[in-house]
Structures are given as structure tokens and as C-alpha cells.
Amino acid sequence: MELGLRDKVAVITGGSSGIGLAVAQGLAAEGAHLVLAARVGDRLEEAARGIREAHGVRVVPVPCDVATADGTATLIEAAEESFGGADILVNNAGAGSNETILEAPDEKWQAYWDLHVMAAVRLARGLVPGMRRRGGGVILHNASICAVQPLWYEPIYNVTKAALMMFSKTLSTEVIDHNIRVNCVNPGLVLTPDWVKTAKQLTADSGGDWQGHLDEVAREHAPIKRFATPEEVADFMVFLCSERAGYSVGSTYFVDGGMLKTV
């Protein structure tokens, strides 16, 4: 299927691993050029080099923290200087949390608000004008099933991802007149490095069977009884970036192996 993504320019946050890297690879395979953001410079450079070698597209790595105003400004400037703006923005940077509402300090709430919500707000403000000049664009937000079906141990993650989902819907109505489509994806269980790291920590004192732990999590939460690969989520997101999804506006899509318990 021709997706019409050749020579498009995509800005991807959290682009050095997990779903972000898989989206970057998927878009590059379709001929899109990339501006990749992540905090760890060495890992980002390695990811960019691998994509260039595999797909022959331009990849601009931008080490920055998009949870800060300075970080988003650096990323916006890099897209403008390298490509004159962007056609696609994938707001993917994020992290799980672990706390109780009664004990979590204000600073932790603020940090996750900045990472999951304000990064998307600032990048929209910075990149939408360029999308208008280029004739339109696509913005995707990677939220989470936890935005609507929360896990008890991460209330801050649940709340800020729910806010990101609402921001996505609200932004979609504001920019569609400029031919900019905005959508949100809510993944379920996805086998990212963060999940593996957490599983290894949780099983370190009980034999180290981290794979068994993840299998148990999947059996408990997902009717499909397994984690998704990052590529399975990325394939869907790449499709949403394409002209083949031209009538998809302001929606939230669940890629969750049946984990969502409501209709």
C-alpha cells in the first residue's frame, strides 16, 4: 500500500528506543526524513546512524529534554533549520510513574505534567505554523490505555495521559481548517525497554524470572495474553500519519490486545 510519505519530514520525541524508535524506523522505511529527539545523546546518535544506513533518509538527532521549554525550543529550531519545518509531529516521549496520591509531592506532578502535556502544547505552538506554510500536516499523540482505564499504582501517569488525550481532541478542532489532522493512540501492554527494566527490578530478589513476570502481567490484563511489540503499535501510527488515513481526525485509537474493558 502506497502511504504517500516519501520525503515528508517527521519530528519524533522519545525517538531513540521503544515505540518512538519503531515509529522512526517505520516512517523512514516509507521514505520520510526524521528529526529525532531524546535525552541520551549517545543512544540517539546510534539510533539515527542505524536508520540512515538502513533506509538512506536524512536523520537529524537532537539531544534535548522536551519536558522543558528550552528543550522544545531546541527541537523546533532544529526542524526549521534542517528542513524548513515539519509535516508530521509524533509526541511520544513519556514515562511511567509509581506513587500514591497522598504521598506524591507537587514537584513530581509538575514534572509529569511538563513531560506528557506541556511538551505537546509547546511543540504544537512551535511546529503548527510551519505545517500551515507547507499545506498541512499530521500530529499524533502517544497516550496510554491508562488514560481511560487506570492502573492503581501510577496515578500521576494516569492523570497526565488523560490530559494529553483531551489536548489531542481539542487541538484537532483548532487546526483541521489548516489541513492538519490530529489523533491520539492509546497503547496497552507494549514490550518496551522500560517494561523489561521494571520486570528485572521486581524479580531480582525472587530468582530473576522477569519474562515470567511479564507473561503473568499479560495473562492478567490482555485477552490476547501477550505484550505487543513496539513495531505492532508503530505500524498503526505510521498508517495514521499517511494520506490513507485522511479522514481520521480527532480520534483516539486503542491498540491494546483487547485490554480495554468498556465499549
The pLDDT, as a whole number, for residue 236 is 98
Q: Does an H or E element contain 113, and which?
A: helix 106-113
In the DSSP assignment, the letter for residue 255 is E
157 is catalytic: yes
> Residue 201: exposed, middle, or buried by beta-carbon count in 10 A (0-12, 13-18, 19+)?
exposed
Q: What is the pTM of this model?
A: 0.97
Q: What is the pLDDT of residue 198?
A: 85
- What average pLDDT does range 155-163 have in this prediction? 98
Domain boundaries, the chain: 9-190+229-255, 191-227
**What single-letter amino acid sits at 51?**
I
- Give tens-digit pLDDT for 171-212: 999 999 999 999 999 999 999 988 998 899 889 999 999 999
The candidate with the shortest Cα–Cα distance to 12, out of 43, 44, 34, 41, is 34
Nearest to residue 236, comparing CAs of 190, 168, 185? 185
Residue of 153, 157, 247, 253 marked catalytic? 157
Residue 62, classed as helix, strand or coil, is strand
pLDDT band at 30 (very low <50, low <70, confident <90, very high): very high
Q: pLDDT tens, 42-91?
A: 999 999 999 999 999 999 999 999 999 999 999 999 999 999 999 999 99
> What is the SS3 assignment for 41?
helix
Whether residue 111 contacts residue 44, with contact meaning beta carbons closer than 8 Å, is answered with: no
Strand order in the sheet with 33-38: 59-63, 33-38, 9-13, 88-91, 137-142, 180-187, 252-255
9-190+229-255, what's its fold? Rossmann fold (3.40.50)
Chain mean pLDDT for the chain: 97
